[in-house]
Amino acid sequence: MKIEEHVSLKKKTTMRIGGLARYYAELHTKEDIEEAVRFAHGKNLPLIVLGSGSNTIFADGVIEGLVTRIVADRVILSPSKDEAVGHIAVEAGKILASLINELAAENLDLSPLTGIPGTVGGALFGNAGQGPKGTWIDRFVKSIEFFWQGKWQILRKEQCEFGYRESLFKKLATPPIIWSVTLSIPARSKEELKAEIEHLIQKRIDTQPHLKTAGSCFKAVDGIPAWKLIDAAGLRGTKIGDIQIAEKHANFLLNIGEATFEDAKKIVEKVQKSVPEKLEVEMRFIEKNGVSAF
């Protein structure tokens, strides 16, 4: 495992905000994960796992921690006696969009997750899906392998405490490092899948911004999409510095120039003060000490 120092994090996040990682490493193997944990523990620093950076921003300045990215991305398709279902094992660094397309070529339907950015590991961590009443990745999960408290462990789906944008992994004070997942995927024809994937991609293009953004900022409240509550508070289009609440979708924050971490924090705080309902932050805002701001 190669550990680099003072690596720019701005280009490793889709919102293009952030300073430098005191230490940075890309993890290819289980041994790399164990070594990274030992290194961070030895330095008494937090270990931060970054997927594709599609829902995370970092503070400006130096992040005093070890920022890691799992790049292992193998997909193993297992033989199945049931022609209606396919069973696969996927490593956490696999880009979700690539997985959806690869499975479609095998007549396997993960299309409900089309358009969701990021890695498989990140999707599992936050139980990524389509809206508060939509389909979530936990629907397809059989088991997850992860490293936590010095041990490799495997949990079945029902042990993972999945909920709306939640999982056991997200709830724990010291988050586990997800390594791989086994999925059970229903079969569907290539032709149907191609049409469905194209439809869902176009829907995202029509309804969501695709500039320097980190996706949905806030969670829904009692099934009400956060954008409706933000819109009702008259905040659509609001700017602080170079951060703007998107005109196209009010639950998206845009970096319209050279936005700072403080700009982003201020606009989140403004939204939380202006909306009567309690809005929980879905994005990760990582402070200089490696701790989440919200």
Q: Rounded to whole angstroms, how far apart are CA atoms 108 and 129?
A: 18
Establish whether 35 is a catalytic residue.
no
Query: Is 46 buried (19+), middle (13-18) or exposed (0-12) by CB count in 10 A?
Result: middle
Residue of 261, 259, 264, 265 whose CA lies nearest to 242? 259
Residue of 100, 101, 110, 182 whose CA lies nearest to 141? 182
Active-site residue (options: 16, 22, 69, 165): 165
Establish whether 284 is a catalytic residue.
no
Establish whether 216 is a catalytic residue.
yes
Active-site residue (options: 69, 91, 282, 284): 282
Q: Active-site residues: which are they?
A: 165, 216, 282
